[in-house]
Chain A
Amino acid sequence: MTLTQIRTQSKEPEHPPRKPTGATGMRLIVPLQGVVQGRGGLILGSLIPCALFYFFHLYLKRHRSANPSSNPPSPSASSPNLADIPRTASRSNLSSRGSFGPGRASISTRAMSIAKPNDSPYYIGLDKVSGNPYDRTSNPDGIIQLGLSENRLCLDLIEKWMAKNLRDSIVGTDGDDLNINGITTYQPFDGLMELKVAMANFMSRVVGKVVSFDASQMVLTAGATPAVEILSFCLADHGNAFLVPTPYYPGFDRDMRWRTGVELVPVHCRSTDNFILSVTALEQAYNHARKRGLKVRGLLISNPSNPVGNLLPRERLFDILNFAQEKNIHIISDEIFAGSVYGEDEFVSMAQILEEEDFDKNRVHIIYGLSKDLSLPGFRVGAIYSYNENVLTAAKRLTRFSSISAPSQRLLASMLSDASFIEEYIETNKKRIGNIYGLFVEGFRRLGIRCMESSAGLYCWADMGKLIPSYSEKGELDLWDKLLNIAKINVTPGSACHCIEPGWFRCCFTTLTEDDIPIVIERIRKVAETCKSPG
């Protein structure tokens, strides 16, 4: 199996390749500059050709609009059985600008980049697994999924709760007479108050009740994915930037940038710092952005971090708040793994710092959701928690595009309000994650692979640097490819997370049972043996 397109370390260019007229233009300008001489010649020499070029371009643009399509459209397939997306060049004959394809109404420029095949190993790996997923009994040679941070360890508890509490129907509550009245009609787009209250209480329990959350500062969305996008839309304009510490969750490239036109500027973290953000790196990244002419609107952190799984210490949170104050930017704190802390270290939420210390609250926005901590990604429950009235107002209005289905809201409000169940769930969840983590990391250690110190999340951050032939992104991707196609294990390579040091891999273990671990380790061992670099 050949290696698919290698992703370069620098960000993909946001805009499609320049039109040919750009090059033609330059061929005009340079000699023209030579023609105009004398005082002010340099300025005129630049201005006049540029002006000519601009008007020439404008002329072309205007006259293109009037041209009718020249070629008749080729017969379209009625495709009663649409399987694959046709990849033939003639069908995808759309110019890079997404403008006038011959006889075929084209899609927008921003859609063009989304329509391209996914070239990130993160997505390629996920696709491969769905084509051949491992199952201990029915498909023991399939690909084992370690690339999706999904928690299956406590689904039995939730199943039990469902079986006990859903007597007649999902849509009723408390086993009352079936009554879907009240949830079929239009609901507030930003979520039922009963669910907001239940979420606020849940979030408070998750952080050990050291801080209370106010339901009126919450906006609910169909998953954390739209929550991140909505904040991006509210806090930044097209072309502005957010600073993001690396390595980061590959999905941010999509959630924060796709439709918003916002850029992400990496703040590189290093293994010597345990991949914890440093103020120096923040300053460097900020200045780098400024030099590129980018206006930085905020800093996006994930705490507990994904993909490393460590926690930001209290002092670092102070540093971040001070930095944001100094630069007058926002902070988005993605705390979606807050309930997955199994280690000894203390998780400190931004909410806690704001409650204890005197920082400007208006710049802080927290993201949460039930996909990780409650293992219910299918139900689509995310939340934006903000101290900024204006942000809440704007976000609330935008939730009309991403509302949670009412029956699910009703069901989850009921579940989250079951205090004893939630208490048992949170504690059991932590224990089970910690247990699998321990076994997994120990298995890796025996292979000579060390994992970064972590105390949270559904994954570990493994250093396979010794196994890669060349200490480079290419070497890393070669190993990733081997692991995927030979060992049949899908893990996420650090480069997909924009990690500046090659050789690191995120391995999610919460989809495994204890019995699966030796199988995983054995498969990796076989590949590891063929990879040992000489000397």
Chain B
Amino acid sequence: MAIEIEQPTVGLSKVAVSETHGEDSPYFAGWKAYDEDPYDESENPSGVIQMGLAENQVSFDLLEEYLEKHSEASTWGKGAPGFREHALFQDYHGLKSFRQAIASFMEQIRGGRAKFDPDRVVLTAGATAANELLTFILADPGDALLVPTPYYPGFDRDLRWRTGVKIVPIHCDSSNNFQVTPQALEAAFKDAEVMNIKVRGVLITNPSNPLGATIQRSVLEEILDFVTRKNIHLVSDEIYSGSAFSSSEFVSIAEILEARGYKDSERVHIVYSLSKDLGLPGFRVGTIYSYNDKVVTTARRMSSFTLISSQTQHLLASMLSDQEFTKNYIKINRERLRKRYEMIIEGLRNAGIECLKGNAGLFCWMNLSPLLKTQTREGELTLWKSIIRDLKLNISPGSSCHCSEPGWFRVCFANMSEQTLEVALKRIHNFMDQRKTETN
């Protein structure tokens, strides 16, 4: 038998083999459990209910209705005029009509309390791309962004993987409802200094994921003052701005800047997307709104790697410019989300579980620390695994969001029907009842 000489296999890059994509983390077990045994109302009523995906399906019918009534707006019409231009359109400036529509939609969400210039809107294929792009622009490899904990687990991948940028956490805790404090900001900055890492900016999510709460005006002012003092950037991911249950409770960083006459606004950049508020994550529509001209230019050029299909731009431009539709949609969407939130909070309360007081988003921040055997990350993971196994619910443990206090969990409520939510609440209720009888 001939001797087989092993050929050296051709290697891959460090980026390719890095674990920063996070898919091998223990938290993936929840997704796996769901994939293997997904809940279905009729086909699989005892399957795993997905409560770990922040997707908005509550206002879907409004979109359907609009597209049905305005089919001529979503096609290119008889003989398809205008199609040619769109077929060839790959300008990274994006369709002007679409940028205008996005700007006006963002204004409406903020109740007209801030103005947005369509020429400052940079389009990307989703907020994921927007956050990564901004990180490439604002920081060099080895630099850091400060991010308040708990934060969206995807940031570990989106902000760090290809960019080589680090995240230094700003620690928040339940003593003040996980709000950012000036002390926490300074401490994080110092942490970075000690590690000899240069901080390039602060990235906040407002309304917050996973907390499901808006950031208070006074806190936003403090954060803005902090970044100004340190001469660094501020990225405000406002992807859930249209999902605040009442318009008045959400304060955008844009409003603060407007109140300050846009003084020193060049360090501020807003990220937005249609994935949450409009429930269209499959369309891949994200945007960077920057008050910094250089950032706008650079982001635009870099968006070549992540352009939105001109067909989608055309389709959504007309829908989002229809102010009557958008006004109605925003209002109804807020109401329905609030109703869902109240439903889940009540259900959890009846089961003896408390949540952080929330006012926005597609999820609630649930406190299960009384149930932990040990107040540690391991205790939390043990409880989480039993919830997947015994309750067949996939929820997100706080440690995956880098929460410093164990026992908190993010529970999504907008990606399912009311009936499914009832089923989930019933399972939780039974579980808590059982525990009570066990401990008695």
Residues of A in contact with B (beta carbons under 8 Å apart): 62, 65, 68-69, 73, 75-76, 78-83, 85-86, 91-92, 98-100, 103-105, 107-111, 114-115, 130, 150, 152, 155, 158-159, 162-163, 166, 168-171, 178-181, 183-187, 222-223, 225-226, 229, 233-238, 240, 254-255, 258-259, 297, 325, 328-330, 360, 362-363, 371, 375-380, 388, 390-391, 394, 397-398, 400-408, 411
Task: Name the B residues within 8 Å of A240 (CB-CB).
Answer: 13
Q: Is A65's CB under 8 angstroms from B193's CB?
A: yes
Q: Is B309's CB under 8 angstroms from A82's CB?
A: no
Partner of A401, one of B23, B75, B132: B132
Which of A92, A98, A108, A325 gathers the greatest number of chain B CB atoms within 10 Å?
A108
Q: Is B7's CB under 8 angstroms from A233's CB?
A: no
Give 9 CB contacts A-B under 8 Å: A105-B232, A130-B91, A158-B83, A187-B281, A378-B88, A378-B89, A390-B16, A400-B126, A407-B311
Q: 8 nearest interchain CB pairs?
A: A378-B310, A406-B282, A394-B16, A405-B309, A408-B309, A405-B312, A378-B89, A234-B16
Task: Name the B residues within 8 Å of A178 (CB-CB).
Answer: 64, 67-68, 71
Q: Is B307's CB under 8 angstroms from A380's CB?
A: yes
Question: In the bound complex, how far is the Cα of B310 from the Cα of A371, in angstroms?
Answer: 13
Question: In the bound complex, how far is the Cα of B307 from the Cα of A223, in angstroms?
Answer: 8
Q: Is B64's CB under 8 angstroms from A180's CB?
A: yes
Task: Name the A residues within 8 Å of B283 (CB-CB).
Answer: 183-184, 405-407
Q: Is B139's CB under 8 angstroms from A108's CB?
A: yes
Task: Name the B residues within 8 Å of A377 (CB-CB).
Answer: 87-90
Give the number of A-B contacts (CB < 8 Å): 279
Question: In the bound complex, how far is the Cα of B115 from the Cα of A394, in angstroms?
Answer: 41
B12: CB under 8 A from chain A?
yes
B62-85 at interface with A (beta carbon < 8 Å): 63-64, 67-68, 71, 74-76, 78-80, 83-84
Question: In the bound complex, how far is the Cα of B345 from the Cα of A90, in angstroms?
Answer: 54
Other than the given A108-B138, A187-B281, A225-B304, 19 more pairs (CB < 8 A) read A76-B264, A83-B119, A85-B297, A91-B293, A92-B294, A105-B266, A107-B292, A111-B294, A115-B298, A178-B67, A184-B281, A222-B309, A235-B12, A235-B16, A363-B10, A377-B88, A380-B309, A401-B129, A408-B309
Q: Is A155's CB under 8 angstroms from B7's CB?
A: no
Task: Name the A residues within 8 Å of B237 (CB-CB).
Answer: none
Q: Is B21's CB under 8 angstroms from A82's CB?
A: no
Q: Is A184's CB under 8 angstroms from B279's CB?
A: yes
B97-150 at interface with A (beta carbon < 8 Å): 115, 117, 119-120, 125-126, 128-129, 132, 136-141, 143
**Closest CB-CB distance, B314 to chain A, in whole Å?**
9
Q: Is A180's CB under 8 angstroms from B67's CB?
A: yes
Chain B residue nearest to A97 in the complex (CB): B140
Question: In the bound complex, how far is the Cα of B231 from the Cα of A130, in angstroms?
Answer: 38
Task: Name the B residues within 8 Å of A403 (CB-CB).
Answer: 125-126, 284
Q: Is A259's CB under 8 angstroms from B302's CB?
A: yes
Q: Is A115's CB under 8 angstroms from B294's CB?
A: yes
**Closest CB-CB distance, A108 to chain B, in whole Å?**
5
Contacts A107-B294, A362-B9 hold; do A114 and B302 have CB atoms under 8 A apart?
A: yes
Q: Per-residue CB proximity of B7-40 to A under 8 Å, as 1/0?
A: 1111111111100010100000000000000000
Question: In the bound complex, how far is the Cα of B68 from the Cα of A91, in angstroms?
Answer: 49
Task: Name the B residues within 8 Å of A328 (CB-CB).
Answer: 7-8, 10
Question: In the bound complex, how far is the Cα of B80 from the Cα of A79, in angstroms?
Answer: 37
Partner of B280, one of A73, A184, A376: A184
B198: CB under 8 A from chain A?
yes
Contacts A168-B71, A360-B7, A380-B307 hold; do A259 and B301 have CB atoms under 8 A apart?
A: no
B53: CB under 8 A from chain A?
yes
Task: Name the A residues within 8 Å of B136 (CB-CB).
Answer: 108, 110-111, 259
Chain B residue nearest to A233 in the complex (CB): B15
Partner of A111, one of B13, B265, B298: B298
Question: In the bound complex, how far is the Cα of B229 from the Cα of A388, in angstroms?
Answer: 50
Partner of A379, one of B7, B71, B304, B309: B309
Task: Name the B residues within 8 Å of A187 (CB-CB).
Answer: 281-282
Chain B residue nearest to A399 in the complex (CB): B125
Contacts A108-B140, A378-B88, A378-B90 hold; do A226 and B128 have CB atoms under 8 A apart?
A: no
Question: In the bound complex, how far is the Cα of B8 from the Cα of A361, in angstroms?
Answer: 13
Partner of B201, one of A81, A83, A105, A411: A105
Question: In the bound complex, how far is the Cα of B9 from the Cα of A325, in angstroms?
Answer: 10
Partner of B125, one of A105, A330, A378, A401: A401
Contacts A108-B139, A403-B125 hold; do A380 and B90 have CB atoms under 8 A apart?
A: yes
B338: CB under 8 A from chain A?
no
Q: Is B129's CB under 8 angstroms from A150's CB?
A: no
B409: CB under 8 A from chain A?
no
Which of B68, B76, B87, B227 gathers the greatest number of chain A CB atoms within 10 Å?
B87
Q: Is B138's CB under 8 angstroms from A111's CB?
A: yes
Question: In the bound complex, how far is the Cα of B83 from the Cα of A419, in angstroms?
Answer: 22
Q: Is A237's CB under 8 angstroms from B138's CB?
A: no
B305: CB under 8 A from chain A?
yes
Question: In the bound complex, how far is the Cα of B55 from the Cα of A525, in angstroms?
Answer: 61
Which of A171, A360, A394 gathers the greatest number of chain B CB atoms within 10 Å?
A171
**Closest CB-CB distance, B311 to chain A, in whole Å?**
5
Q: Is B306's CB under 8 angstroms from A402's CB?
A: yes
**Closest CB-CB distance, A170 to chain B, in whole Å?**
6
Question: In the bound complex, how far is the Cα of B284 from the Cα of A185, in angstroms?
Answer: 10
Task: Name the B residues within 8 Å of A400 (CB-CB).
Answer: 126, 128-129
Contacts A159-B80, A378-B88 hold; do A100 and B10 have CB atoms under 8 A apart?
A: no
Question: In the bound complex, how far is the Cα of B312 from the Cα of A405, in angstroms?
Answer: 7
Task: Name the B residues within 8 Å of A388 (CB-CB).
Answer: 10
Partner of B265, one of A76, A254, A401, A407: A76
**Closest CB-CB distance, A521 to chain B, in whole Å?**
24
Q: Is B231's CB under 8 angstroms from A108's CB?
A: no
Contacts A152-B88, A405-B309 hold; do A234 and B298 have CB atoms under 8 A apart?
A: no
Task: Name the B residues within 8 Å of A406 (CB-CB).
Answer: 282-284
Which of A85, A130, A407 gathers the greatest number of chain B CB atoms within 10 Å?
A407
Partner of A104, one of B164, B201, B231: B231
Chain B residue nearest to A398 in the complex (CB): B162
Q: Is A169's CB under 8 angstroms from B298's CB?
A: no
**Closest CB-CB distance, A189 to chain B, in whole Å?**
9
Which of B11, B21, B89, B296 gathers the greatest number of chain A CB atoms within 10 Å?
B11
Q: Is A114's CB under 8 angstroms from B311's CB?
A: no
Q: Is B281's CB under 8 angstroms from A233's CB?
A: no
Q: Is B295's CB under 8 angstroms from A107's CB?
A: yes
Q: Is A62's CB under 8 angstroms from B196's CB?
A: yes
**Closest CB-CB distance, B93 to chain A, in whole Å?**
10
Question: In the bound complex, how far is the Cα of B258 from the Cα of A80, in angstroms?
Answer: 12
Task: Name the A residues within 8 Å of B63 (CB-CB).
Answer: 180, 184
B431: CB under 8 A from chain A?
no
Chain B residue nearest to A411 in the complex (CB): B311
Question: In the bound complex, how far is the Cα of B86 from the Cα of A150, in angstroms?
Answer: 13
Contacts A105-B266, A180-B63, A406-B282 hold; do A259 and B162 have CB atoms under 8 A apart?
A: yes
Q: Is B138's CB under 8 angstroms from A107's CB?
A: yes
B261: CB under 8 A from chain A?
yes
B233: CB under 8 A from chain A?
yes
